[in-house]
Structure 1
Amino acid sequence: MDKKEFRVLIKYCYLTGKNTAEIKTWLDGEFLDTASGKSTIKDWYAKFRRSEMSTEDGERSGRSKEVVTDENI
């Protein structure tokens, strides 16, 4: 599974009232080596508590992807 799908699962568990320990235990049991870490789950829970319900990455400052091309390298 990719990061986006794990974020959706974390959001689902948040909305159903599970805490971070419960979701970590469940993800570890279901997805073994690919599950999100405890700090990642806590970060996303904090965002959801602030009513930031998007599971997309936020924009970051810095160089855009369009700037780096094979011609520039």
Structure 2
Amino acid sequence: MEKSKFRLLIKHYFLRKKTITETKEKLDKYYGDSAPSISMVKKWFTEFRCGRTCTSDAELSGRPKEVITPEIVDKIHEMILNDRRMKVRELVHAVGISTERVHHILHEYLDMRKLSARWVPRLLTLDHERNRVTT
């Protein structure tokens, strides 16, 4: 059963004036090992006593976990194609994400590496290699 459904049951027992131990016993009786722990039941009883009515997760503040979007990857790729001598620090300031994420995008998504102060694709074709040698 989902967390939100267990929270709804805990709220139901809270509104029916059951104790924490009675609630835990009922949940264990009907749901066994999948029932929430006693500490989780206590936590939600405390939340409901403090006036919380919603059983869903609260909205998290702060920066999203995943900042790598197709738009950012395309923007970095375009900047690298325009100037292959672009520094990572310059990309960080232009895009507005961390240095680690820019490195991750360059190495994992665009499959590029720094070679002689230039960003180049990792796997060069024979024509590319000959062209680099003659240049």
Q: TM-score, normalised by structure 1?
A: 0.85
Q: Is 1:47 the equivalent of 2:47?
A: yes
Instruction: Mark the runs of 5 or more structure 2 residues left unpaired by the alignment.
Output: 74-104, 109-135
The verdict on how the C-alpha distance between 1:64 and 1:32 changes in structure 2, with shifts beyond 3 A counting, is same
Structure having the larger proportion of residues in strand? 2
Provide the alpha-carbon RMSD of the alignment. 2.1
Unaligned runs of 5+ in 1: none
**Amino acid in structure 1 at the alignment position of 2:50:** R
**Structure 1 residues 30-70: Cα deviation after superposition (integer angstroms, max 9, x where no partner):** 00110011011101000100111110111223432553558
Quote the Cα distance in structure 1 between the aligned partners of 2:10 and 2:40.
Answer: 10
Runs of 4 or more, structure 1, over 4 Å off, are: 68-73
**Aligned twin of 1:29:** 29
Residue number in structure 2 paired with 1:64: 64
Q: How does 1:15-26 map to 2 (within 5 A)?
A: 15-26=15-26
Larger Rg: 2
Compute the TM-score of the two structures, normalised by the length of structure 2: 0.48
Q: Separation in 1 of the partners of 2:26 and 2:10?
A: 10
Task: Report how many residues are paired.
Answer: 73
Local SS of the residue matching 1:67? coil
Structure scoring higher RCO (CA < 8 A, sep ≥ 6) equals 1
Task: Tell me: CA distance 1:67–1:35, structure 2 relative to 1, closer, same or farther (3 Å).
Answer: same
